[in-house]
A and B are shown apart, each in its own frame.
Chain A
């Protein structure tokens, strides 16, 4: 359902060409929990941005649910991103001047849901992460772990098929990191495909499948379940 074939991503400046991804090929099946590891600058985030349709790629092909995204307009890519992909970032990326309710509301607005449907989904998503009672709070009034849970609620509210997480526990202490990881595992058990970039080998081991990216290439596949 997510299939990249010989994808290349080249950043060109006046002086230098940087190959962030080289002949990158990867297939992710529905319901998988994949951990993506690799050293800094290896191309993990670039892969995640391309997978999440946030960045174009230079060559190759990328099929998401059978649709060739390279041929899509910005509007179509945005719609697909909104409907099928949820993002979780290391730095949470909540909008600071919107309260939790309105933050979770953002992707639902672009989906075009009616007010009643949006409210139902927002409340359910915030209840799931245990923050429904704080819907009127601003992000700055929450701890880091709570903010990340709001970000997860925001990603879940649209019921995406894919959850892309870029070092979701990177800014959290170990207790909060474990809580967030447990939440992601629970989401995966409910059927959502999770692709998580992480530096933490312990978290990587908890995934079903671990891929390493080195110098922009998928260097190694391993199945944690088989290991």
Chain B
């Protein structure tokens, strides 16, 4: 039986042996640490990339797509003929549906905001999300002060804004927690009234807008009503794609009417019935548009994907990343094979001691437990060193690859995984050497010292 009493004894012996054989112990710890460091660095990156920030609402939030291109002309190049974004015209039309619990068209702008704080640079550039009021409740933004703009503002435009804590601090000073609702914000030389202040929000991957990068370094920091779109006269930050080579965008007003896609559209459908109803609604909408002369392609259709499906569809995790994780675990395996060899050398050198202990009353199981405890101590040290090296590895990735900078960090679940993997892998590496040490006939090692 593996009692606490004996565990404490084995632990004492293990630590003593490790201290008495520093070189061999260091080699074993290094082998485990290197394997853990490489695998945890890659796994952390993969884990962050595979994160679904929508959480519990993942299955209720859907991205909308429409096969809205004309016949005999180029498609947008998507493998299934479905563009990733919508035209402004379609986005405006879809807002009329009463099926979704919440919905919002959206796009991203860059705007220059003037600071009111003396002694700081006079202006700063921020990413601005143009969306409907539902955006905040749909994606769960946390209001520190104020609230979203009124529902009427979605149809009757008003120059109002919800700003993040970071913008609040930059524009009005302080730590960003002060209530500056009602104050005025000067953006692109136009005044906006602050109606709400939200806690900084930076979901990664930025699932609701995967244009340009799934892992942007700058989050959306200001939110303004979608109803202002015709008045903005500002091209979006993101992709603009069109299928009609005859169509040239002369100005922003033209883009609002053109068959070019540049806006995202999300709906919240909490129940299966509403999902079916919305699919029917999209089918009817496509038919209606065909009758109006649009959507003249071979497969006119609408499509919705929930958040996880949307992330998969957009290949947020590239195949290369999966391969890298696989390779890193193969490297861990190589390190473990080396560890097995080193542990064999360590334990077989102490066969005499095992023989003496057996003669004095230790069972095979007790010798096995003693050696496995020592392996666990070595594994814990290797895991700890591996974690430190992983932090270094992730730091290097942040320096080398800007696109991974926001996500190349160890979170608590990855720290727990590193501890678990290091203990499990060292146990695996230790089983055979410990078995060899305990299975030998003790009498063979007692005759000569």
The chain A residues found within 8 Å of chain B, CB to CB, are 45, 49, 52, 54-55, 74-75, 78-79, 81-83, 87, 89-95, 97, 106-107, 109-112, 154, 158, 166
Identify the closest chain A residue to B3 (Cβ). A112
Which B residues lie within 8 Å of A111 (CB)? 361
B359 at the interface (CB under 8 A from A): yes
Contacts A55-B441, A91-B449 hold; do A97 and B20 have CB atoms under 8 A apart?
yes
Contact (Cβ within 8 A) B6 A109: yes
B127 at the interface (CB under 8 A from A): no
Contacts A45-B447, A91-B448, A110-B366 hold; do A78 and B361 have CB atoms under 8 A apart?
yes
Which B residues lie within 8 Å of A158 (CB)? 361
The chain B residues found within 8 Å of chain A, CB to CB, are 3, 5-6, 9, 16-17, 20, 352-353, 355-366, 441-443, 446-449
Which B residues lie within 8 Å of A83 (CB)? 361
Which A residues lie within 8 Å of B449 (CB)? 91-93
Which A residues lie within 8 Å of B9 (CB)? 109
Contacts A74-B363, A75-B365, A78-B366 hold; do A93 and B356 have CB atoms under 8 A apart?
yes
Query: How many Å from the CB of A79 to the closest CB on chain B?
Result: 7
Which A residues lie within 8 Å of B442 (CB)? 54
Inter-chain CB contacts under 8 Å: number: 75
Contact (Cβ within 8 A) B357 A106: yes
Contact (Cβ within 8 A) B358 A78: yes
Contacts A93-B449, A95-B353 hold; do A49 and B360 have CB atoms under 8 A apart?
no
CB<8 Å pairs between A and B, sample of 14:
A78-B358, A78-B362, A81-B361, A82-B361, A87-B360, A87-B446, A90-B447, A92-B449, A93-B355, A93-B446, A95-B357, A106-B356, A109-B9, A110-B362
Query: How many Å from the CB of B41 to the closest CB on chain A?
Result: 38
Query: How many Å from the CB of A115 to the closest CB on chain B?
Result: 9
Which A residues lie within 8 Å of B353 (CB)? 95
Contact (Cβ within 8 A) A81 B359: yes
Contact (Cβ within 8 A) A87 B359: yes
Contact (Cβ within 8 A) A52 B361: no
What are the 9 closest A-B residue pairs judged by CB atoms, nearest first?
A82-B361, A78-B363, A91-B449, A107-B360, A110-B361, A49-B443, A54-B443, A75-B363, A93-B356
CA distance A100 to B441 in the complex (A): 25
Which B residues lie within 8 Å of A87 (CB)? 359-360, 446
Contact (Cβ within 8 A) A154 B360: yes
Which A residues lie within 8 Å of B352 (CB)? 93
CA distance A141 to B366 in the complex (A): 29
Identify the closest chain B residue to A52 (Cβ). B359
CA distance A83 to B363 in the complex (A): 13
Q: Which residue in A75, A90, A91, A106 is a CB contact (below 8 Å) of B360?
A: A106
Which A residues lie within 8 Å of B366 (CB)? 78, 110
